[in-house]
């Protein structure tokens, strides 16, 4: 019997009449007969005289000592059934807990049970993706609260989110081997979850966050970006092998989202370069020189992006999904460099404007010297 079969068996026995009262000899025999019938086992073992040689206690004692490996999945399923029957009271109470809270380990334990009971890699991909979204929600909530050890809690949430995404991609890899026809749908689910993670990241209130928390937000953003890239790669590989409609639709949707994101970054970078040039126009030539050089260099590096974006759109329309995403990746790499240099120049310019020039120290006014009055002799 599999874990799934045992779980169904336990559920079916919840209403067994023999479990409704005392657990005497008669009830034991009834329960064992029911279990044996549904599990396909012999209800009893007969001795040479034709009478039962063993009782239910003998069977349980033997199973406990000789077949522990067999009982482990039964124990897991029984524990899960017990939680279901008790209403999951503790797990529900822990649902709103955050890393560092007393009930948070119970929340994670409940998630692990769900993954253990999941029947297929496809189901596990869905669960890991959903739990990654939970971790991101926890991280966003932590950034909005003034709680003790906020950086450590944030780090825990981000690391757990990365672990869930890595596990989801591991299940995708297993699915490519065992059931490649199901990869497309599972990868599509993961792609939509990573999109939701990006939305949650934008909602993180980081205006008054510490530098350490901002670093964790940056780690989370990079983690999500890597997950997006890996998911798109899986979709591309699956589409090239099977050309399923679902992969084509999902790739087009992912392309439109990434294209729009890149185009917005492109427009913003050009505007930032123009603003920097205007801001330093009134400065002395020797001071404005480095800023103008950086702004002009940014504009020069951004020139190829118009063609890259146009080519990516045309290639995608022709069905060249891999090449289209490669072109967007090239545009993104250019933007990463330009944005970093512009940010450094903007910080330097702002810092220079905030330092007030030193004023010359004025000497205090001299006090008049007292001159003793002279009196004329009479």
The answer, yes or no, to whether residue 279 has pLDDT greater than 80, is yes
Q: How confident is the model at residue 213 (pLDDT cuts 50, 70, 90)?
A: confident
Q: Pull the structure tokens for residue 333.
A: 């790499």
Q: How confident is the model at residue 342 (pLDDT cuts 50, 70, 90)?
A: very high
The answer, yes or no, to whether residue 357 has pLDDT greater than 60, is no
Cβ atoms of 274 and 344 within 8 Å: the answer is: no
Q: Pull the structure tokens for residue 278.
A: 């205007």
At 274 the pLDDT is 93
| Mean pLDDT (whole number) for 304-317 | 95
List the beta strands (DSSP E) in the chain: none
The answer, yes or no, to whether residue 133 has pLDDT greater than 70, is yes
At 354 the pLDDT is 61
Q: Pull the structure tokens for residue 301.
A: 């590096």
How far CA 34 is from CA of 30, 38, 40, 162, 209, in Å, comes to: 6, 6, 10, 46, 61
Q: How confident is the model at residue 180 (pLDDT cuts 50, 70, 90)?
A: confident
Give the largest CA-CA distance in the chain.
161
Which helix (H) or strand (E) element contains residue 103?
A: none
d(CA 259, CA 324): 10
Least Cα distance to 259 among 187, 301, 315 occurs for 315
When mean pLDDT is compared across 106-115, 160-169, 187-196, the lowest value belongs to 187-196
Phi then psi for residue 52, to 5 deg, are -65, 125
The answer, yes or no, to whether residue 19 has pLDDT greater than 50, is no
Cβ atoms of 254 and 191 within 8 Å: the answer is: yes
List the beta strands (DSSP E) in 117-249: none
Q: Is the dihedral of CA 317, 322, 328, 334 positive or negative?
A: negative
Q: How confident is the model at residue 88 (pLDDT cuts 50, 70, 90)?
A: very low
At 2 the pLDDT is 54
d(CA 41, CA 183): 38
Q: State the average pLDDT for the chain.
A: 77
Phi then psi for residue 238, to 5 deg, are -65, -40
At 57 the pLDDT is 47
When mean pLDDT is compared across 50-59, 126-135, 138-147, 157-166, the lowest value belongs to 50-59
At 318 the pLDDT is 92
At 10 the pLDDT is 52
The answer, yes or no, to whether residue 210 has pLDDT greater than 90, is no
Per the DSSP assignment, residues forming a β-bridge with 46 are 52
At 86 the pLDDT is 44
- The DSSP symbol for 20 reads S
pLDDT tens-digit readout, 290-305: 889 999 999 999 999 9
Contacts by residues 259-262 (CB-CB < 8 Å, ≥ 24 positions apart): 259/309, 259/312, 259/313, 259/328, 262/309, 262/328, 262/331, 262/332, 262/335
| Mean pLDDT (whole number) for 308-330 | 95
Least Cα distance to 305 among 263, 347, 272 occurs for 263
How far CA 318 is from CA of 246, 310, 321, in Å, comes to: 17, 13, 8
């Amino acid at each position: 019997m599999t874990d799934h079969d045992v779980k169904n068996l336990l559920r079916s026995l919840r209403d067994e009449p023999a479990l409704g009262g005392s657990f005497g000899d008669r009830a034991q025999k009834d329960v064992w007969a029911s279990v044996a019938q549904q599990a396909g086992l012999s209800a009893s073992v007969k001795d040479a005289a034709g009478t039962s040689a063993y009782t239910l206690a003998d069977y349980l004692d033997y199973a406990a000592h000789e077949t522990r490996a067999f009982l482990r999945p039964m124990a897991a399923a029984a524990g899960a059934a017990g939680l279901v029957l008790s209403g999951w009271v503790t797990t529900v109470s822990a649902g709103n807990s955050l890393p560092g809270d007393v009930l948070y380990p119970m929340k994670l334990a409940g998630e692990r049970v769900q993954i253990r009971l999941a029947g297929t890699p496809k189901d596990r991909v869905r669960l890991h993706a959903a739990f990654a979204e939970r971790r991101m929600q926890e991280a966003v909530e932590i950034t909005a609260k003034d709680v003790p050890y906020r950086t450590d809690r944030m780090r825990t949430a981000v690391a757990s989110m990365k672990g869930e995404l890595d596990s989801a991609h591991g299940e995708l890899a297993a699915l490519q081997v065992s059931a490649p026809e199901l990869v497309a749908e599972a990868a599509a689910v993961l792609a939509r979850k990573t999109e939701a993670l990006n939305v949650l990241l934008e909602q993180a209130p980081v205006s008054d966050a510490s530098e350490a928390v901002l670093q964790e937000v940056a780690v989370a953003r990079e983690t999500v970006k890597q997950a997006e890239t890996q998911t798109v790669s899986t979709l591309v590989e699956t589409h090239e092998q099977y050309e399923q409609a679902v992969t084509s639709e999902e790739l087009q949707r992912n392309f439109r989202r990434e294209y729009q994101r890149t185009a917005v970054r492109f427009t913003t970078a050009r505007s930032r370069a123009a603003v920097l040039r205007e801001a330093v126009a009134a400065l002395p030539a020797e001071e404005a020189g480095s800023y103008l050089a950086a702004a002009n260099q940014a504009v020069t590096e951004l020139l190829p992006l118009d063609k890259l974006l146009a080519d990516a759109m045309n290639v995608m329309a022709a069905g060249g999904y891999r090449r289209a995403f490669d072109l967007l990746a090239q545009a993104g790499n250019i933007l990463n460099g330009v944005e970093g240099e512009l940010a450094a120049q903007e910080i330097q310019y702002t810092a220079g404007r905030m330092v007030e020039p030193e004023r010359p120290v004025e000497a205090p006014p001299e006090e008049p010297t007292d001159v003793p009055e002279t009196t004329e002799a009479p």
